[in-house]
Each structure stands twice: as C-alpha cells, then as structure tokens.
Structure 1
C-alpha cells in the first residue's frame, strides 16, 4: 500500500506540474504567436489543424509501442520530446516552422494522453485504476487553474521577455514530470508489437469495443462547447459581459478538480459507466438548451443564465469522463492496454479536431437553432450506449470463457 501511495504521489505531482505549464501555455500561445512572432490567425489555424491530424495518426502506434517497450519508458520520452518542442516555439519565425513545431508538440500531447492512461492502468488494479485516472484529471485541472493565473500575469506584462520566460517555464514542467516518471516502475510489456504498429492490431479490430466507444467519445464535443460555443454565444448573442464566459471556464476547472474523483469513484463497472455516459448525454443536451434564454434578457439575467447552464454543462462533463473510463478500462485486453488507450486517444483527438469548427458554425451561424442541434446530437450519442455496452460485456465474457477451455 505504501509503495502504491508513493507511485501515485509521483504520478499526480508530475501531472499537476504539467497542468500548470499547460494552463500557462494555453493562456498565452495565441497572443505570443500573433503579437511577438507576427503570424496571422489563419496561419495559426492551419498549423494547429496539421498538428491535430499528426496526433490522431500516431496515437495507435504510440499505444502499441507502449505495449512493446513499456508505458513508463514511452511516457518519459514523450515528455522530453514535448520539452524540446516547447522550447522550439522560441525559434518559430514563419508558418512552416510553426507547423513543424506544433506537429511535434501537439501531436505528442495526443499520443501522450493514451500512453499516460496505459501507464496508470498498468500500475494499478481493479477499482483503483479509475480512481487514479480521475485523480490525475483533477490534478491537471488544478494545475491548469494555477497556470492560467500565471498566464494572465504574462499577458498583463505583454513583453517579449515575459512570453519567452513562460515558454521556458512550460518546457521545464515536462522535464520535471519526466524525472518523476523515471522513479515509477515499468509496466508489463508484450513480446512483439502488434500488426502495423497498432493500425491493424487487437484494439482496432475489437468491433464490440469500438462500437460502444464511438458514441461515448463523441461526447467529447462538450469540450468544444465549453471552449468555443459558450464564449461565442455570450459575445455574439447576449448582453452579458465577455468576462462571464471566462468565469464559466474558471468555475468549470475548479469544480472538475474538486469533484472528478468523487464522481468517478462511483463509476467503476461497465454497467455504471454506460449509465453515467448515457446520463451525461442527456444532461449535456439540457445544458445546451439552457443557454438559449440568455439571448432574450438583459445583461444581468443573461449572466445568471449562462453561469447556471455552465454548471449543468460541468455536471454532464463529469459524468461523461467517468463513464468513458468506466466502460473503456474494464473492457480492454490487459496485454494490449496501450493499444486500447491509444484508440481512445485517437477517437477523442478526432472529435477535438473537428468539433470546434462545427460548434462555431452551429452556435455562431444558427443561434438558438444551433443549440437545439447540439442538444439532439448529445441525445443521439447517449441513446445506444447501454445496449452496446451490454453487447461488449457479453463478448468479453465469451472470450474469457474460451480462454479457460
């Protein structure tokens, strides 16, 4: 037990430190690249789109590599790569350089999310796996909140040296995390890498698993609602201050840091995970509809409505993440943890790549009708989860029975 506590402390400390760097970087990157480097918004969008695709393509091979070499070893390498790429932003002087650096930096982030989950599920057993995943996410959000505060100070200074210091600080967090991971035991490894480095491996050919994870990971669109939909709606369609949108993000981070572990502790079986994901879709749909009346009232009431709908959205997000882990972790094959978590990272990355543009088009172009479409989307995602999860459990039980014969 003491040994596990030491491992957990190392993992959570490194994750929280990374979270500080992430919150700092997310706060300053756009202004740094436009005001200091001199790139246009269109150039940023193109470079980040390429970077997102790189992460999606490499997630499955990255997971397969973690199965073969060990998740800890791969996680350490990814942190060092991200540290070097983070520093390379200081040398960016054009769109080509930005595309290359962002492809490495952001692509490694997507791959690293799957490898990180594979590391946790390889080091812990039973219900403790989901609890550790939840504690890790809480640590990230706590760190993000601190980092965003530091980023706000950098933006207030608004000098090249301040941006440079922030970039160096962000890179340093990856080095610190890597040094902490070195002291963590290695996970069990497989004898050989799967076919096509995971692209034709066990996870991608597990049809029952893939069928249930598709609608669950589609709920990842809720993050685009938080980052794009709410700010766009507040600014373009309500009389509320733009600060209200920023407040919803801060409140969301604080609540996730405080509550994710408690919510996930109750979602440790496939059945409960499927129910949580289903309820998440319903709650997220309700939150979408709850934002609409903010356009019909004055600034004060609009702020109240947006904040209230934002709280409903946080509840849906907490349930979604808990449900995703509750279903994906028990259904994966132990010998292919990296592949399965890499597949989750691939699916999640694909949604994150395209959801912001879709949400912006719906909320910015269709207004209240766009919110209704989003609500319908979340309900449609929720509807098949429970029966698909039941089928996946039945298939898993058949495999287990066959293995015993």
Structure 2
C-alpha cells in the first residue's frame, strides 16, 4: 500500500499538459457530443409508456433490446477493433446512432421502436470497446486512469445539461417535444463524426500482434480468474446502476414517488453537478490506492442511495418524494465516480496492446448483460406494484458485489490494482 508521499501528484493543469494532442481533441468535444444523449436518456421510458401508450413491461423489454443487440455485436466489434482499428469502428457505430435517433423521433409503435433501438444497440456494442481502445492507444501509464476519470466527468456534464434542458422542454401532452429532443440527439452525433474524419483521421487505434506470440481469442482472455471476477462485477454494476437509471429509476419516481418530469430532470442535473464538481478531488484521493477498495467505496454509496430512493414512497407527490428522488441521484452519482475511475483502468492495465479491443469488448459484454436484465426486472416488478422487492433486489445485489470485489482483489497484481510502488 502506498503512502501519501509516494503517490503521484494530480493536478488538472499538469494532466492537460501531459496529454498528447489526440487525447486533447477527444476530451475537448466530449461534453458537446453527449449533450444530445442527455436530452433523451431520462425520458425514453416516459416517452414509450406515457406518450406512445406502450406498457411498462414492454417498455422495459424494448430498452433491454439495446443491450441485447449490443451484446450480440460486442464480440465481433472487439475483434474488428483490433484488426481494422478503433476509429473505423467508432465511425460505423456513431452513424448507426444518428439514424437510430431519427427513427425514434417519429416512432409510434413497437416495430418502429425496435428498429431504432437495434441501431442504438449496434452503436453501444461496437463503440464501447473501440472508444476505450482508442483512448488506451494514445494515453498510457497513470495518465490513463486520470483520463478515464476526467472523461467520465465530461460525459456526465453533457448528459446532465441535456437532462436539465430536456426536463424543462418535454411535455407528455405534446409528443412533438419528444420528437425534437431525439432529433437533437441525432444532430449531436455529427460532432464525433466530424472529429474522426478531421483532426483524428490519422489515429487508427490499432496495435499489431507481436511476432512469435500465439493467437488469443475470447476464451483465452476469460480463462484469467481476475477477468472473470471483473466481468461479474461489471455486470452487477450495470444491473443495479446504469440498467436502472434509464428505466427503473424514472419509472419508480413517476409511479411510486409521483414526481414530475421536471423533478427527474433536476435529479439528473444534481447527478451531473456532483460528478463534475467532485471528479478531480476523488482522483487525487484514489490515485496510487487499491482500485478494489475504490470499488468498495462505490458499493457503500450505492447502498445508501437505494435506501434514500425508497423513502419516495412515504409521501407520493409530496416534498419528501422530490427530495428522495433528487438526493438519490446525487449520492448515486458520487458512487459512480469511484466505479468509472477503477473499472476501465483495471481492464486496460490487464490487457496487452494488441488485445485491447477484445479485452474492452469482454467488459462491454458484461455491461450489456446487466443492461439487458436490469430494465426487464424493474419493468416487471414495478408493473406489478412490487416496489419494495425492487429496492431489496438492488441492495442484495450490492452486497453480492462486495464479496466479488474482495475475490477480485486477491487476483490482481499491484500494477493492475493501481498501487504505486514506493
């Protein structure tokens, strides 16, 4: 374990100065290109259910379709990332996202939503391993962990600002407002496309397999016990966390807490404020410390957040429900910081350069698996008024995750666990 004196110094100015030019380009446009996603993320399940009249159970299944498609294409996407480069895969995925958002803007029935979500799922499946591989190809060493943390803060800044604007703009009695936010989401995809075709056109994000090394497939990667435990933890993080933020959380807030869409938009704004304000402070605190222990801190905050959200049921439509919904997202967001610093860094420090696409694809597959199950479970439980079981399931999953984190810690090298050798 490192001491305060031998841990690397972290400052925003030094971080920016150390970044290579491609890394600066990637960071400088993150918030803009995620603004469109923020416009639609908090309100997609409301759009399907309250605006288009599709049941919550079906809505949850439709949202899970994104992750199902992503899971199917993640494996081939990771392999193609290693073979033809991350930039080309990002271009393909982002274009699919643009078209998918246009389809969703005018969707009025289940088949149209299926088409739109299939295209979104394709993007998420190929873009995650490609984007992380692209970052890892231009940023290395301790700077990589810092990059993932700062990138996460900027992603949330864009999503949070979008959520605020969306919450003020959308009206469940006027479908046109939802059409406009999905069209804005589509337009925001022009930013990364322009970046990849312009300033980053020479950054391919591909590493050649060293001569004399054996060909490695997904099964070889998954044979490492540390990879298996990290994959399981990532699955639980999504099932309990991100798989619920787009479906279970807004549905619970509307159905049990009876809060308005404006309150949900405000909650996402608070989530963003916490992440952006605290990201670099947390980075300073955790740099050089065990990433496994960082993940345990996340578990503690997430348990507290779900307990807080359950209080919304004590006063539906009243101030207590509003406070519970907003505070939930704040506490949850603080926990997110720890997760997004640790998991991508562990994943990429365990991977060889020529396997980075596939290593990130394994992690992305676990994420998609949780995103498949999460909306289905929350949709079915909340549709049958089982809100208490819904909250209990989330907390039980977090207890299971804590045990898995201890198992992972025993299988990581000091370098993989982010421990500075002093």
Measure the CA separation in 2 of the matches of 1:296 and 1:44.
26
Residue 275 of structure 1: CA displacement? 0.5
Measure the CA separation in 1 of the matches of 2:59 and 2:321.
32
Q: Which residue of 1 aligns with 2:401?
A: 381
Measure the CA separation in 2 of the matches of 1:92 and 1:286.
37
Is 1:263 matched with 2:278? no
Is 1:74 matched with 2:92? no
- TM-score using structure 2 length: 0.78
Measure the CA separation in 2 of the matches of 1:391 and 1:358.
31
Measure the CA separation in 2 of the matches of 1:255 and 1:120.
24
Contact 1:86 1:167 in 2 (8 A): yes
Alignment of 1:54-133 (within 5 A): 54-89=69-104, 94-133=109-148
Is 1:175 matched with 2:190? yes
Measure the CA separation in 2 of the matches of 1:392 and 1:238.
42
Measure the CA separation in 1 of the matches of 2:133 and 2:250.
34
Give the SS at the match of 2:290. Answer: helix
Measure the CA separation in 2 of the matches of 1:133 and 1:280.
16
Residue 103 of structure 1: CA displacement? 0.6
In the alignment, structure 1 segments of 5+ residues that lack a partner are 398-405
Q: Which residue of 1 aligns with 2:411?
A: 391
Is 1:40 matched with 2:54? yes
Is 1:253 matched with 2:275? no
Is 1:371 matched with 2:391? yes
Deviations 1:332-377 (CA, angstroms, capped at 9, x unpaired): 2222111111111110111111113334556774444543442232
Residue 324 of structure 1: CA displacement? 1.5
Alignment of 1:186-225 (within 5 A): 186-190=204-208, 200=218, 202-220=220-238, 221-225=240-244
Measure the CA separation in 2 of the matches of 1:29 and 1:242.
11
The correspondence for 1:350, drawn from 362, 369, 374, is 369
Q: Which residue of 1 aligns with 2:293?
A: 275
Deviations 1:248-277 (CA, angstroms, capped at 9, x unpaired): 2221122123323442454456x6211111
Q: 1:168 to 1:311 in 2, by over 3 A?
A: closer
Measure the CA separation in 2 of the matches of 1:317 and 1:136.
13
Contact 1:60 1:198 in 2 (8 A): no
RMSD: 3.7
In the alignment, structure 2 segments of 5+ residues that lack a partner are 1-15, 418-422
The correspondence for 1:339, drawn from 334, 358, 367, is 358
Residue 120 of structure 1: CA displacement? 0.7
Residue 66 of structure 1: CA displacement? 0.8
Q: Which residue of 2 aligns with 1:10?
A: 25
Q: Which residue of 2 aligns with 1:51?
A: 66
Deviations 1:138-170 (CA, angstroms, capped at 9, x unpaired): 222111123234434652597676655544432
Q: Which has the higher contact order (CA 8 A, sep 6+)?
A: 2
Q: 1:128 to 1:243 in 2, by over 3 A?
A: same
- Number of aligned residue pairs: give it: 391
Contact 1:142 1:257 in 2 (8 A): yes
Measure the CA separation in 1 of the matches of 2:182 and 2:172.
15
Measure the CA separation in 2 of the matches of 1:232 and 1:158.
18
Q: 1:338 to 1:2 in 2, by over 3 A?
A: same
